[in-house]
Structure 1
Amino acid sequence: MAELIKRAKALSVKPLKSSQTIGAALAFLGLKNAIPMLHGSQGCTAFGKVFFVRHFREPIPLQTTAMDQVSTVMGSQDNVIDGLAAICKKSKPAVIGLPSTGLSETQGADVRLAIREFRTQHPEFADTEIVPVDTPDFTGCLETGYAKAVDELILALAVHMDDKDESRVNILAGAHLTPGDIEAVKDMVELFGLTPVVIPDISGSLDGHLGDKDFAPLTTGGATVDVIRTLGGAKATIVIGAALSPAADRLGQITGVPDYRFDHLLGLKAVDAFVLVLSQISGQAVPAKLERQRTQVQDAMLDAHFMIGQARVAIAADPDLLKTMIDFVQGMGAEVVVAVSPAGAKSLKDLPVQNVKIGDLEDLEKMAFDGGAELVIGNSHCVQSAEALGVPVLRAGFPQFDIVGGFRKTWMGYAGTRDALFDVANLMLSTHKGEVEPYASIYANRPAEKGPADKGPGEKGEGNHVHRATSSGSGLRH
C-alpha cells in the first residue's frame, strides 16, 4: 500500500493538474450535438478552450455564462438563464453540459435553481437536456471532474429497462482513454459479436476528422442522448478506470445491469483479463486476430526487456493514468522512483509503489533527481522538467501541445501495448541503456604470428587465427 505524501507548499510551482471544470467539459464533448457551457468568467472558458484546441487541434464548441464583477457580487442566475436561452435558440443542441468553476462556486451560485427558472421561462426548449455538475477548480483534477460529469449524465438520463439486448455492452470510458483507445476497445468488443455503447465517446467527436460542414457549433459525433437513456437494456457494463466507480455504482442501482471493472487495458495481464470477460459475456472463443496480436505483444516484450528492465522511471499524471503507467513499466521490470499526482484519490493508496506525492512538477523534478530517474512519463508540461533532468520523456495524458497526433495515440489493447513497449524501449535506447556494446577480441591488436609458410622445417605453425564474437557467443555484453 502506497503512502500519500500531501502538499507542504503554500503554492503550486510548475503546475501539473488540469481543472475539474475542464474534465467535465471533456466528458460532455463525448456526446453528440452537445455543448458545454462553463458557469464562470470569460477567462475561465477561454483558458480551457486554448488547452482543448492545442491538444486536439480541432475547433472546440465551448460556451460561457460570462460572469463579470457585477454578477459575481449581485448574483449570476440571470447569466445562466440568458446563456441557456441563447444557445438553445441559436444552435438547438440535444444536451448542454453546465459545469461550475471556482468563481461561481466561491460565489455560491445555485445552478439547479437557475435551470428550474429557465424551464419555467422557456418551455419551448423542453427537448434540450441540461446537465449541471459541481466542479470547483480549486479541488480535484481533470479526472475527478470528468467522473462527476459521467455520474450526473447517468443520474439525469439512464432508466431501468426490462427488455435486454443480449448483444449489447455498455462501456464507461475513463478520462485516461484517448480517442484511439476507445476505437481499439470498440473493435475488440465487436470481434466477439457484441455491440459496444461507449459513454462518453470522444472517438466519434474528437478523433480528428473533417466534417461535412465548414463550421459546426455543436459536437459532430459521440454518444447520443437516446443511447444513454437505453443503457438499462444492455447485457453487461464494462467500466475502465477506478475514478468511474461512483458512476458505475449509480448505473447499476438504476438499471440493474451487472458490470465488470478494470483499471486500464495496458499490459498483457490487463488485456488478457478484458478478453476473458468478453469471451464469457459473448459465449464465444477468442478470435484468431486477438490471439495473433497477443503473440506480437509477447515478442515485443522479449525485444524490449533489455532496455526497460531495471530502468528508473518518474511518472506524473492523474490517478487513473498514474496507475496505468505504473503497472505497465513495472510489468517489464522497471522501477518507479517517483509517482506524482495533482490530486488525491482513494485508488492511490493501492498503487504498488512506496509513496505517492500529491504535488506539482517542481516536486517531480526534485524527487526524480534524487532518485536517479532515467525516464519521465507525463503530459507536455513535463517536457521542460525532463530537459532539466537530462532524460527523455514519454508523453501521456492531457494536454499534449508540442506534438501532432498525441491526442489519439492508442495505448490500450494488445496492439496498443505492443507499440507502447517499442516507444519506451526506443527512448531508453537514446540513453544508451540496453545497447549491446561492440566486442573487441583480445587478439585483435596482437602481432601476427608466423604461419606455416614462415616456419622452418619441423616447426608446427598454427597460423594467424582471429577469434570473432558472434551474436550467440559469450562475447556479448548485456
Structure 2
Amino acid sequence: MVKIIEKPLSVNPLKKGSIMGAITAFLGMHKVMPLVHGAQGCMAFTKNFLTQHYREVTPMQSTAVFDIATIIGDDSNLHEGIANVIEKQKPDFIGLVTTGMTEVRGDDIKGSLIRFREKYPQYDSTPVVPVACPDFKGDAETGYGAACAATLSLLIEPAVRTDYRTRKMVNILAGMHLTAGDIDWLKRSFEAFGLDVIVYPDLSASMGGQVNHFYGLPEEGTSIDTIRKMAHADFSIVVGGCMEASADILLERCTVPYKKFDTLTGLEATDELVSWLMDYTGKQAPSWMRIQRQRAVDALLDAHFSFSGKSFSIAGEPDLLYGLGKYLTKEMGIRLETAVTTARHGAFENLPAENIIMGDLEDLEEYSKASDFIIANSNAIPMCHRAHKPIYRVGYPVKDYLGHFHRTFIGYYGAMMLAFDIGNICMTLDIERSGH
C-alpha cells in the first residue's frame, strides 16, 4: 500500500518557488522580458540558478522594491520598472512575475497596471502579462503552467480556423520537464506525419545553444505572432499536467480540442502517442521511428538482467517524477522505494512507490536507505556521497554535468537511452558488489 506523507517544513530544500518556473516559461518565448516584481535578490537568485542549469544567457529584470517602498506600498517601483524595460529593451511583451514579498504585501497588480496605462499611454502597444507567484504556494511547475496560461489568456482571441492550409497544425504544449532533446524528438515525429507544429513555450530554441551572440532579450523561442496563431490550430497535445490549464483556455476560447499525456517517457506512453498520430493523420509511422522502437526494445532486453532485484528512490517535480517512476517500475521492473516531490499530481495514485512524500531532500535521504541508486538533481549529490549511492541526474538544477539539456528522455530514443543509462548504473553496482 502506498503511503503518502506531507512534510510541513523544509530542511534540505527540493522545491523551487513558482517564480523560477514562471521565468523559465518566459525564457522560452521570443523577445519577452521577464520582470520580477520584488527585491533585487529575488531576481538575482533565480538568474544565478537558471544560468548554472542552462549555461546560457538568461535575461530578466527586477523592479528592485526596497524597504521604504515595501512599507509605503506605492506603485512607483513597478511603474518605473515597466517603463524602463519597454524604453530600453523594447520587448514584444513583458512577463510580470510577482514574488512572495509583493504577494504578502497585498499588491493589486491588475489595478496597478491600469494606473500604469493611464500614466504612460505611449506604451499601450506593449502587452504586460501578470503572473502571481507567491513562494508559499505551489512549486516551479505551478509557476511555469501559470505563466503559460496567463500569456494565452491575455494574447489569444477567439478565431475561426481558415481553410487555406494544406497541412494540419497542432500545438504542442510543452511541460517544464521537457529538454531540448525531448522537444526536438517531438518536432521531428509530428513533422514526419505531415503536421505543422507550434511548440509552446520552446525552450529548445531559446536555451538550446543555437543563439550564437549575446542578447538582452530571449531569442528564438515562441514569438508573440506564433502564440496568437495557436488559436487557429486544429488540435493541441498537452505534455505534462502543468500545461492543462493552457489547453483549457484554447479549448474554451478557440474550440481547439486537446489530448493530455501525463508522460511520454517509456514504450507504453510513446506507443499511445504514435497510435494517436497514426489515427489522426491516417499515415503509418516512418521507418526511422520503427527502427527506434526496435532498438528501445532491444535495449530493455540487453539490460534486463542488471535490473533484477534493484530498487531506487527519486526526487523531482511532479511531471518529471511521474514519467521516470512509471517507466522504471512498470517497464524496467525496478522497485521504487521512495518518491519525494514538491506538489500533488493526479497520476501519483498509479505510481507503485512504497512512500510518496511531499517533502525535501532530507526525506529522500531518510527514506531511501534500502535503495540501490538515486534519481535526483545535482543538489542531491552530497547526500548520495554520504550514503555511498550512485546518482542519476535529472530535473532542476543539473549544474555539474555538461549537455544535460540536450539529453532525450521521451519517445523511443529516450526509452533506449534511459535503459542503457540505468542498466549501466546497475551493472556497475553488480561488479562492485562481486569484487571484480
* TM class by smaller structure: over 0.9
Q: Paired residue for 1:246?
A: 245
Deviation at 1:286, TM superposition (A): 0.9
- With 217-226 and 276-285 compared, the bigger mean Cα shift is at 276-285
Q: Following the alignment from structure 1 to structure 2, what is the Cα–Cα distance between the partners of residues 413 and 84?
A: 41
Q: What's the CA shift for 1:2?
A: 4.6
Residue 186 in structure 1 maps to residue 187 in structure 2:
yes
- Is the contact between residue 236 and residue 257 of structure 1 (CA under 8 Å) also seen in structure 2? yes
Q: Deviations over 1:221-248 (max 9, x none)?
A: 1101111112121111000001222222
Go from structure 1 to structure 2 and tell me whether the alpha carbon gap of 1:113 and 1:367 turns closer, same or farther (over 3 Å shift).
Answer: same
Matched with 1:59 is 57
| Counterpart position of 1:344 | 344
1: distance between equivalents of 2:160 and 2:434?
Answer: 62
CA distance in 1 between partners of 2:2 and 2:187 (Å) = 33
Partner of 1:432, secondary structure, is: helix
**Could you tell me how far apart the structure 1 residues matched to 2:29 and 2:21 are?**
14
Residues 361-395 of structure 1 deviation map (CA, whole Å, 9 limit, x = unaligned): 111101001xx100100111111122122111110
Match of residue 129 from structure 2: 131
Q: Between Structure 1 and Structure 2, how many residues are aligned?
A: 432
Distance 1:309 1:262 in 2: 29
Spell out the pairing of 1:367-382 with structure 2 (5 A cutoff): 367-369=367-369, 372-382=370-380
Q: 2:93, 2:351 → 1: CA distance? A: 37
Superposition pairs for residues 167-178 of structure 1, below 5 Å? Answer: 167-178=168-179
How much does 1:163 deviate?
Answer: 1.9
Question: Which deviations, in whole Å up to 9, do the C-alpha atoms of 1:107-147 show, x marking residues without a partner?
Answer: 11111122112222222222222111111112211111101
> Aligned partners of 1:363 and 1:18: how far apart in 2?
16
Query: Secondary structure, in 3 states, of the residue corresponding to 2:220?
Result: coil
Alpha-carbon distance, 1:106 to partner: 0.9
Instruction: Confirm or deny that 1:33 pairs with 2:34.
Output: no
Aligned equivalents of 2:135 and 2:82: distance in 1?
A: 22
CA deviations on 1:184-217 (whole Å, 9 max, x unpaired) are: 1111111111111011111110001343x4x311
Could you tell me which residue of structure 1 aligns to residue 366 of structure 2? Answer: 366
Q: Distance in 2 between matches of 1:354 and 1:244?
A: 28
Could you tell me which of 40, 51, 57 is aligned with 1:42? Answer: 40
Is 1:319 the counterpart of 2:318? The answer is yes
| Aligned mates of 1:123, 1:67 — CA distance in 2 | 23
1:189-338 alignment, distance < 5 Å = 189-211=190-212, 213=213, 215-330=214-329, 331-338=331-338
Aligned twin of 1:444 = none
> Is this contact kept in 2: 1:33–1:94, CA < 8 A?
yes
Instruction: Identify which of 398, 401, 405 aligns with 2:399.
Output: 401
Q: 1:73-114 CA deviation, whole Å, 9 max, x = no partner?
A: 111421111101001001110021111111111111111122
In structure 1, distance between residues paired with 2:342 and 2:83: 36
> Given residue 355 of structure 1, which amino acid in structure 2 is its aligned partner?
N
Higher percent of residues as helix? 2
Residues 242 and 347 in structure 1, CA contact (< 8 A), matched pair in contact too: no
Q: Which has the larger radius of gyration?
A: 1
Residues 1:209 and 1:66: Cα distance change in structure 2 (over 3 Å)? same
SS in 2 for 1:96: strand
Cα distance in 1 for partners of 2:272, 2:416 equals: 17
Q: Using the TM superposition, give the Cα deviation of residue 344 of structure 1 relative to its aligned residue in structure 2, in angstroms.
A: 3.0
- CA–CA distance in structure 1, aligned partners of residues 2 and 145 of structure 2: 23
**Distance in 2 of aligned mates of 1:77 and 1:430:** 59
Match for residue 420 of structure 2 among 411, 419, 422: 422
Instruction: Give the TM-score, by structure 2 length.
Output: 0.95
The 2-side partners of 1:244 and 1:437 are apart by 48
Partner of 1:453: none
Could you tell me whether the CA contact under 8 Å between 1:181 and 1:409 is conserved in 2? yes
Could you say if the C-alpha distance between residues 174 and 2 of structure 1 is closer, same or farther in structure 2, counting changes exceeding 3 Å? farther
5+ residue gaps, structure 1, are 439-478
Q: 1:141 aligns with which of 130, 134, 139?
A: 139
Q: Which residue of 2 aligns with 1:462?
A: none
Deviations 1:22-79 (A, max 9, x none): 0000001110011101111000100000001100111110111101101111114211
- Alpha-carbon distance between aligned partners in 2 of 1:86 and 1:362, rounded to the nearest angstrom: 42
Measured after TM superposition, the shift of residue 249 of structure 1 is 1.7
Distance of 1:72 and 1:28 partners within structure 2: 26
Maintained 8 Å contact 2:211/2:219: no
Which consecutive residues of structure 2, in runs of 5 or more, have no partner in the other structure?
Answer: none
Conserved? CA contact 1:3–1:349, under 8 Å: no
1:365 partner SS: helix
Rounded Cα–Cα distance in structure 2 between residues aligned with 1:33 and 1:108: 29
Describe the SS at the equivalent of 1:270. Answer: helix
CA distance in 2, matches of 1:97, 1:146: 12
Deviation at 1:437, TM superposition (A): 9.7
Is the 8 Å Cα contact of residues 307 and 435 (structure 1) preserved in structure 2? no
Helix, strand or coil at the partner of 1:207? coil
> What is the TM-score when the length of structure 1 is the normalising length?
0.87
RMSD: 1.8
**Cα 1:83–1:274 shift into 2, 3 Å:** same
Pick aligned residue for 1:75 from 69, 73, 76: 73
**Counterpart of 1:230 in 2: which secondary structure?**
helix
What CA distance in whole angstroms lies between the structure 2 residues aligned with 1:356 and 1:17? 15
Amino acid at match of 1:197: I
SS in 1 for 2:71: helix
